[in-house]
Each structure stands twice: as C-alpha cells, then as structure tokens.
Structure 1
C-alpha cells in the first residue's frame, strides 16, 4: 500500500485551506484560515505559513513528499508567482519559493484555481475516464481548465482554459479585464444578480440579492430571474461550444456556486449548447455538474503535486 502523502493549499480571496491528501484522493487532515485579503503581502503570507505550520505539526507530515498549490489568479507557474485579483497585496508575489522555504525544500507545484478544479474532476469527479475535457468554475468569476489527451493541460503559465475571458458578445459590456462581452461578464454570479435586478426582479423580505436567491426565484417562475439565467446559460454554451470546436472536448463539467442552481442553469445550458455545438464532431458533447464540491481546490492541488512528483 502506497503511504506517501502530499500537502495541498487552496488559496482564494476568502479562505486559505490546507490539507494532507493520500494517493487515493482522500483528505487525511485539513485546516483553514480566513484570507487577510486587504492586508499587505507579508500578512497574507503569514496566514499561508500558519496553515502550513498546522499541517507540518501533524505526525502525518513525515510521509509528505510534495506540496501542491491551487491559487486564485492570475498565476504564473513558470515564474512561481501569483497576482490574485482579489488579494491586492500580492502582485507577482513569489509564492512557490516562499512555500518551498516554509516546508524545508519539498517540491512545490503551482496551478490556477481553474486548473486545480479540473485536475480534481479528472482524478475523482465527473471528468474521470474522459481524455478531453473542459471544467468550469462559475461563481464570483468564471474560470476553467483543460484536460487534453488524458492529461491536465495548464499551459506555460498555468492559466490555459480560462473560458471566462472568451468574448461571446462583440458589442457587449466592457469587462474589468479590458475586453468586451466576456463570458464572465454575463455568466458569473454577481452578473446574473445584476442583470435580474436591472430587469425588474426584486429580492424577498430577507434582502438576499445573490445569484442563489435569483435561482430560487427562477425556480418559482419569476420571469426576470429566468431571463437572467437564460442569458448566462447562453453565454456559457457559446464559450463551451467554441472550446469544443477548437480542441474537440468530450465533456464540459460545470462547478462553482452558480452550478448549485441545478436545472435552472443546466436546462437552458444544454438547450443552448445544441444551438451552438452543431458540427458533427462536437454534437455528442456532454455537460455534467461537478462532483468534487468544496474540496475541489484541495483535491486538485494535491493532484497537481502528484503529477509533479510523477514527472
């Protein structure tokens, strides 16, 4: 029985999670800290070191062979740096070298959070057994990652598959990235909520104006909520179809908070996909909800570490 473990870090704007993960993808120990996202670079790194300190204090640490990091992006895996949009204190922050120093020189692998979720879904989730897959994270933003020829394809810097910034509306709204009509600008949770409110949807007595609340309203038949999810699904379908046409993916796996809307999202998504994925070689494309849930970042970071140690 293979007893080696890998350490995994899942770094985002809200939390820094850490785990020790075995070769079967099982989490043996976990910990987390809130991300001090508004603080300076060293304060954020201090939270990472605190998570690593708790992991390395465990008797299991002696079996740990490598560290995998899935981080909010942009990341630059070739340089070992991260510049998460929602952690302003980190710009070109040398995360790989700092983590390596904190763990006594173990190998460290860095991927973006979209690639981490993709690695998790290919290893343990809905993309398991597929040689060519696109996995999407639809939440505050829209990220993604690719599996090509049975292997995670992070690209040179770790950002390949970033479907959120494919333009699907040539004259659309300006996206914060600088382009127009990006998938993210239409399909992310905050943009689903923004569009529903602009159309005339009103939150209930609790004042919840999140995309999850819009999903509840859509399920109850509110026309403005339904229309906002319809538009989001159309944007996602156009981006997925473009990706499939380019590289012949067999499955698109959709995770993230917005995927929790269930049929409110997946119904119109599958319908619109039939309209966009029309060529013979993309017509059999499957769409499935992600299976690895909130642990996707940790399981995917572990997968990246295992892939790194296998090279």
Structure 2
C-alpha cells in the first residue's frame, strides 16, 4: 500500500565511518527530508553524538515529524542489541557507547516516546535489499557493504537474522589471512583489512600507485584500474580474492545461494566484480555452493536508511 505523506513514517539514521545520514521513510521505502553530514570519526564520542543529534534535529523540524512512529538506527559495528550499545571499529570514540539510550533522550524523540530500534549497518543493508532490492524474493542471502569497512547481514529462511547480539554475518572481521596484519578489532588478517576501500587505497599506494591529482581514495584507484593501471588492478584483485574467500566460507557454512554486494567499493563495477567472479570459481568449490548468484545491490547509498526503517516495520 502506498502511503500519503500524512500516513505512518519511520525515522531512520545510518551511521558509518565516513558519513551520518538520516531521513524519514514511508511504508513503500521512499525517503523524505534526507540529511547527511560527515562523521568526525577521530573525534571524541560526544562530538560524534552531536552530529547524530544534528541529523535528528533536521528531521524533527519537518512538517512530517508528527507522523513518525519509530526511530531505526543502522550503525557500523559491532553492536550489542541487548545493551543498546555500539563499538564501531572505525569510530574509536565510541566503545560500548549507549547509542539507543542517547538517541531516545533526544528531545524530539523523548517528547513522543518513540521506540528506538538498533542494528549493525550490514544487517540494515540486508533488511533493505531483502525488502526493496536485489535480495527481494530470496529465501537465503548474504548481503555485503564494502565501503570504509566491510559489513554484512544474513537472510535465512526468508527473514533477516541478526543473531543474539546483533552481529550475525559480520563478515569484515573474519580472518582470511592467518598471519595477516593486526586489525583494530584485536584480531589479525581480517577481511576488512584487505577488501575495504581504505585497505585498497593503502595497498595501491604502498605498491607504488600515484594518483593524477590529490584524490587517493579507493574511487581514484578504481578509476586508474579501469584505465588499465596494473598496480590499481592488483589492489582490486587482492580485495576481490579476500571477498571471495569470505563469501565462499559463509555460503559453505549456511548453504545460501544469493549474494548481494553494495557499498562505495562496489561502485567500481567490473573492476571489482570480474575478479570476484574469477576467485569465487576457485573458492566456492563444493557442488552446493558452485554458481552462487552474485548481484550488485540496487539501493545504493539509501540502503542503510531504508534498512533502518525496515527494522521498525
């Protein structure tokens, strides 16, 4: 059913290492009043919270705010659904940070006693793609966000499964390189340390890639790779290999058939997906995981917000 602007709405906030976004989302998954600000990722936790409150201030000032029924938050993780806290690896000022309580205490949220729902950003993305995107109709799927970090969520038996703590499917922090580099999470050789946009750019620069201008991001590496730069191509090939190993391991473990890949790194297109398909042919070797249905996410940068709203439906 298509809802009018006067119908029920959900407030949604998407928190990542690069940006904090918010919007009001209707029952058809359409966004209104979107607001996005940079994440002060290296600042104190109170400064990060202040940006979340600025986004909520913007939403609460709109004429549609009285129709909001709940607030959904998708955050970089790990998260703790039991305690309502978050400890994003890429936001060091937030460790066991009581995000649910702090969001509920925002004056506009508290005044209406809105329920607050929390999920990891990968779970939120999975909820969005299963509701409105590339995982629609799939009984079992793995949905990945490959961006500043690497997050993921699982759809099993037709429903998003966040797990006991809310971190099920947290693919970015499984070990894919036994003697790999230390990870800020405390482990070693994590997938995120090889396949994230940050890792791709770092690897390319260390191997001698030099950008034409000042942009040293994974996007610039992708552009160079598309132009045939061998160092940039090698950085993406290594990321794709790590992703393939993680995807194949997950598919082998839970017997799923569809994989959806989104996030800023996925915007590189064939620069990422062509080597990913090649490496999956090698790693997804057992008969029941061969031929995985790998799709590009359909909801782009809106996925986190749509998924945060989906948590409230």
For the criterion TM > 0.5, the same-fold answer is: yes
Residue matched to 2:67: 63
Give the TM-score normalised by the residue count of structure 2: 0.91
Alignment partner of 1:138 is 2:142: no
1:169 to 177, 191, 209: 177
Q: Could you tell me whether the CA contact under 8 Å between 2:18 and 2:148 is conserved in 1?
A: no
- d(CA) in 2 for partners of 1:200, 1:38: 27
Alignment partner of 1:122 is 2:130: yes
The verdict on how the C-alpha distance between 1:223 and 1:300 changes in structure 2, with shifts beyond 3 A counting, is: same
Of residues 148-157 and 79-88 in structure 1, the stretch that sits farther from structure 2 once superposed is: 79-88
User: Which digits, 9 at most, give the CA deviation of each residue in 1:176-210, with x for residues without a partner?
Assistant: 32323221121111222222233332222x14322
The verdict on how the C-alpha distance between 1:61 and 1:169 changes in structure 2, with shifts beyond 3 A counting, is: same
- d(CA) in 1 for partners of 2:61, 2:211: 46
**Residue correspondences, number:** 305
Matches within 5 A, 1:1-311: 2=3, 3-102=7-106, 103-104=109-110, 105-204=113-212, 206-306=213-313
Unaligned 5+ runs, structure 1:
307-311
- d(CA) in 2 for partners of 1:44, 1:195: 28
User: Which digits, 9 at most, give the CA deviation of each residue in 1:96-146, with x for residues without a partner?
Assistant: 122223313211110011111111111111111111111111122111111
- d(CA) in 2 for partners of 1:209, 1:23: 39
Which secondary structure state, in structure 1, belongs to the residue aligned with residue 66 of structure 2?
A: helix
Please report the RMSD computed on the Cα atoms of aligned residues, expressed in angstroms.
1.8
Of residues 49-58 and 293-302 in structure 1, the stretch that sits farther from structure 2 once superposed is: 49-58
Give the TM-score normalised by the residue count of structure 1: 0.92
The verdict on how the C-alpha distance between 1:272 and 1:36 changes in structure 2, with shifts beyond 3 A counting, is: closer
